[in-house]
Amino acid sequence: MTGTDTVWMTPAALAALQAELDALTAAPGDESGKARVLELRELIRRAEVGTKPDDGVVEPGMRITVTFQGDGSTETFLLGSRDLVQTDGDVEVYSPTSPLGAAINGHRVGDEVSFTAPNGAQLTVTIVAATPFA
């Protein structure tokens, strides 16, 4: 990810980041928080908040369902960052930089995509659904 990439997050996550930034900047002279302040400002600057369009394209901020070709099992998850989503735990979150997330990012419903799992296995999934996360 480059410094110009947007970072999708929920409104609650953006509010939490802003509150953390406000708390850190309210204590001037605290040297230990300077790196975090810079990180928070960059995240907030790059934030993309809100619902994605329902166009069937896989991207961060979408609830994705895939079927694994090998055994026919399905998995439904949110493509995003656990730190920036702020869910109530009712949905699994996969990073767009994870092997599966990186492989399917930018593809469309109906596409078949292969990737290498962390254990070295070659897996193929079919994208069954990609809907906006509310």
pLDDT of residue 90: 73
Q: Which residues pair with 125 in a beta bridge?
A: 68, 113
- Tell me phi and psi for residue 126, to 5 degrees: -110, 130
How many Cβ atoms from other residues are within 10 Å of residue 109's Cβ?
16
- Pick from 73, 58, 62: nearest CA to 104: 58
Check: pTM over 0.85? Answer yes or no. no
Taking residues 122-129, what's their average pLDDT? Answer: 97
Q: Answer with the residue of higher pLDDT: 100 or 51.
A: 100
The DSSP H or E segment spanning 117 is: none
pLDDT band at 58 (very low <50, low <70, confident <90, very high): very high
The CA distance from 41 to 19, in Å, is: 12
